[in-house]
Amino acid sequence: MAAEQARGGAPPAIDISGLAKSYGRRTALNGVDLRVREGEVFGFLGPNGSGKTTTIRVLLDHIRRDAGSVSVLGRDPRTDGVALRREVGYLPGELTMAGRRSAGDLLGFYARLRGGVPRARIEELAGRLGLDLRRPVRGLSKGNKQKVGLVQAFMHRPRLLILDEPTSGLDPLLQQEFLAMVRQAREAGATVFMSSHVLSEVHDAADRAAIIRDGRIVATEDMDALRARAVHEFSIRFAEPLGEAQAQEFAALENVRGVRTEGDRLTCTVDGSPDALVKLAARRTVLLMSAVEPDLEELFFTHYADGADGADGADGGAAREGGG
């Protein structure tokens, strides 16, 4: 962090160096180096069990690290946790809510703990997410509990948002509303650190992302570069059936594999840009074309197999090792 300040840049919102954490004989984090710039949306991607939640809990001093250094908004969460939490909005990966009180009363309680949040702000966020503040929390579905968690994270306009699997339980329309909230928080100057195992939702909002596997960061890069690495499943329906010769044309494309034809339908897998596939398909009459966004596991298996080197990110060095 000192080196970055010496170069004239703002100190990072999150600065992690050599972070390690074990649970008995199981290593959860192994030498994590990660830097999140002030004012950016940063995605923290990895399958379940990769170390994302452990990293987040260390950032908030919910658990203690075994080794390494951690700075959040210029503070060590181990020694300045109370002051730090005033400036952080946190959504845990698992929400536990019970009791007879309504969602509105619970959020009012959280607001008082924050030193006071205007009721209009709570109602605005609840309205955007379709949350009925009158309903008792004990009867809420997983999705509605997630809405309560999101409202309490955003309501005090924190300097830093730390969100663990924030769209879990939300329907697609509400996922888009959440992403709009993230963009607005960034426009207001906040930093957003959000974990996920879904590539598409992070790509829609994040400036950069780190990919973590088995407690190690295998890449840190901007989202356009990550999308270029992604694998997509394409399905194309033509006006006329395809013969063997036509199928071989598609199979001969450099970044196309797994070509399968059945009558007038062709399916295949495309690595990176589908430009060549689209241009070849356009030589015929296309009735329908669809692409399936890959999940993160597919991206790992394709591009980050055991022994593969991770790609360094724009910060030059926060990428080779680490975990979250």
The pLDDT tens digits for 181-214 are 999 999 999 999 999 877 777 777 899 989 888 8
What is the CATH code for 230-301?
Answer: 3.30.70.100
| CATH homologous superfamily of 2-227 | P-loop containing nucleotide triphosphate hydrolases (3.40.50.300)
- Is the model's pLDDT at 316 over the cut of 80? no
Over its C-alpha atoms, the chain yields an Rg (Å, rounded) of 22
Residue 301 binned pLDDT confidence (cut-offs 50, 70, 90)? low
Helix/strand/coil for 321: coil
Average pLDDT of span 290-299: 69
Query: What's the rounded Cα separation, in Å, for the pair 51 and 72?
Result: 18
Phi, psi of 312 (to 5 degrees): -70, 145
Cβ atoms of 295 and 203 within 8 Å: the answer is: no
| 246 confidence band (pLDDT: 50, 70, 90) | very high
Quick one: DSSP state of residue 323?
-
Contact predicate 223/254, CB 8 Å: no
Q: How many CB atoms lie within 10 A of CB 176?
A: 14
Reported as a single tens digit per residue, the pLDDT across 26-75 is: 999 999 999 999 999 999 988 788 899 999 999 999 999 999 999 999 99
Please name which of 234, 229, 241 lies closest in space to residue 296, comparing C-alpha atoms: 229
Residue 251 near residue 301 (C-beta atoms within 8 A): no
**Mean pLDDT confidence for 229-242:** 90
Tell me: the pLDDT tens digits for 251-278?
Answer: 999 999 999 999 999 999 998 889 999 9
Domain locations in the chain as residue ranges: 2-227, 230-301
Q: How confident is the model at residue 314 (pLDDT cuts 50, 70, 90)?
A: very low
Where residue 299 falls among pLDDT bands split at 50, 70, 90? low
Q: Are 165 and 46 spatial neighbours (Cβ–Cβ below 8 Å)?
A: no
Nearest to 51, CA basis, from 295, 275, 215? 215
H helix runs in 130-264, sequence order? 142-154, 172-187, 199-203, 223-229, 244-251
